[in-house]
A and B are shown apart, each in its own frame.
Chain A
Amino acid sequence: MIPVRCFTCGKVISTEYEEYKKRVEAGEDIREIMSDLGLERYCCRRMLLSHKEIIDDLNPYQ
């Protein structure tokens, strides 16, 4: 699961993840998506950039 907040500054970034993922898959420029979503600081930007979602892989083994 995407962390609820940015580790560094504490901004809630998890709310933007779904839209971010969709737009990345649609082939948009990542830099523009992030600025669009109001993620100004690089601490918040790396939260989305470096996230790997594994909940779907874990779910069968609960």
Chain B
Amino acid sequence: MEISFSRLDEDIARFTLKDATPAFANTFRRTMIGEVPTLAIEDVMIYDNNSALFDEILSHRLGLIPIKTDLSEYVRRSECSCGGEGCSSCQAIFTLSVEGPCMVHSGDLIPADPKATTVSTDIPVVKLGKDQKVVLEARAELNDGSEHAKWQSTLACGYKAYPVITIDDNCDACGNCVEECPRNVLKIGKKSVEIADGKLEDCSMCRLCEKACMASGIGDKPAISVKPDTERFIFVVESDGSLPVKDIMTSAFGIIKNKADSLVDVLNEISGAI
């Protein structure tokens, strides 16, 4: 298996995964979306709230704010040595106290742990009028996207099979397919149609080019054919900022490996028992 990046930033990555099965590509995608843990606000103690938003809505909005997560510092509350009571290694505490008239922003959440801050300081939480105020304490904890989407570290996270475009010798460079292609993947070459430089990965495998070629009266088989490569996949992974994309990928691989190992253990146990 091989990964080659065409783009790797803090919050977006584009890469090709080579020599993998479709099952593995999908496992990888699902693990990144659903199993990589991040911090998100789970409990809110509201001391004062006379804003126009109900406590529940206010808490829900707070929960959706992405929080920078250091996976080496936090563990899930259910797996913590404190036994689930809540301590500094399974909870990040924020306090908020704002009096109107003003807009309450995510930056008004004051973190107890200076490293576990909100990703952005200007997410609007609630607009306060005169004499309105909000005073609360919020506790963020580690969990994953399969529990609730607020713990999901990825935004757009998906893949498609690598397109393989073959052009037969009987292509007469009529250009019908070039005109039909919605992604401008094709161009007219000297003797036949060609793939435009660097455009192959843009192909959506819609096969409109094949249809256009048939319509040009080429015969009973189009001169161009588009097929998915079942061993190569183009991925796009975007992060909400709580973890860098690279960490999401490495921790997803770790999770898959642990799961595979435990499957082997279970299988060994079963086969040993017979």
| Binding partners A and B | yes
A61/B52 in contact, CB under 8 A: yes
Query: Which 8 A-B pairs rank lowest in CB-CB distance, beginning with the nearest?
Result: A4-B64, A58-B52, A59-B129, A55-B127, A11-B155, A9-B155, A62-B52, A59-B52
Partner of B120, one of A1, A15, A58: A15
Cross-chain pair count, CB within 8 angstroms:
55
Given contacts A17-B124, A55-B127, A59-B127, contact A10 B152 (CB under 8 A): yes
B123/A1 in contact, CB under 8 A: no
Listed in ascending order, the chain A residues whose CB lies under 8 Å from chain B are: 1-2, 4-5, 9-12, 14-15, 17-18, 41, 55-56, 58-62
B65 within 8 A of A: yes
B132 within 8 A of A: yes
Interface residues as binary, B248-267 with A (CB distance below 8 Å gives 1, 0 otherwise): 00000000000000000000
Q: Which residue of A lies closest to B131 (CB)?
A: A62
Q: How many residues of B contact A (CB 8 A)?
A: 26
B127/A15 in contact, CB under 8 A: no
Given contacts A12-B119, A56-B127, contact A62 B51 (CB under 8 A): yes
Q: Which residues of B contact A41 (CB under 8 A)?
A: 156
B194 within 8 A of A: no
B122 within 8 A of A: yes
B61/A1 in contact, CB under 8 A: yes
Cα–Cα distance between A60 and B238 once the two chains are bound (Å): 40
Cα–Cα distance between A2 and B152 once the two chains are bound (Å): 20
Q: Which residue of A lies closest to B130 (CB)?
A: A59
Q: Which of B198-215 contact A (CB under 8 A)?
A: none
B240/A11 in contact, CB under 8 A: yes
Listed in ascending order, the chain B residues whose CB lies under 8 Å from chain A are: 50-53, 61, 64-66, 119-120, 122-127, 129, 132, 149, 152, 154-156, 238, 240-241
Cα–Cα distance between A62 and B132 once the two chains are bound (Å): 9
B240/A15 in contact, CB under 8 A: no
Q: Which residues of B contact A17 (CB under 8 A)?
A: 124
A55/B52 in contact, CB under 8 A: yes
Cα–Cα distance between A28 and B156 once the two chains are bound (Å): 28
A1/B53 in contact, CB under 8 A: yes
Q: Which residues of B contact A2 (CB under 8 A)?
A: 124
State the Cβ distance, A22 to closest chain B Cβ, in Å.
Answer: 14
A60/B129 in contact, CB under 8 A: yes
Cα–Cα distance between A14 and B50 once the two chains are bound (Å): 22
- Could you list 28 A-B pairs, sorted by A, with CB under 8 Å? A1-B53, A1-B125, A1-B126, A4-B65, A4-B123, A5-B64, A9-B155, A9-B156, A10-B149, A10-B152, A10-B155, A11-B155, A11-B238, A11-B240, A12-B241, A15-B120, A15-B122, A15-B123, A15-B124, A17-B124, A18-B124, A41-B156, A55-B52, A59-B52, A59-B129, A59-B132, A60-B129, A62-B52
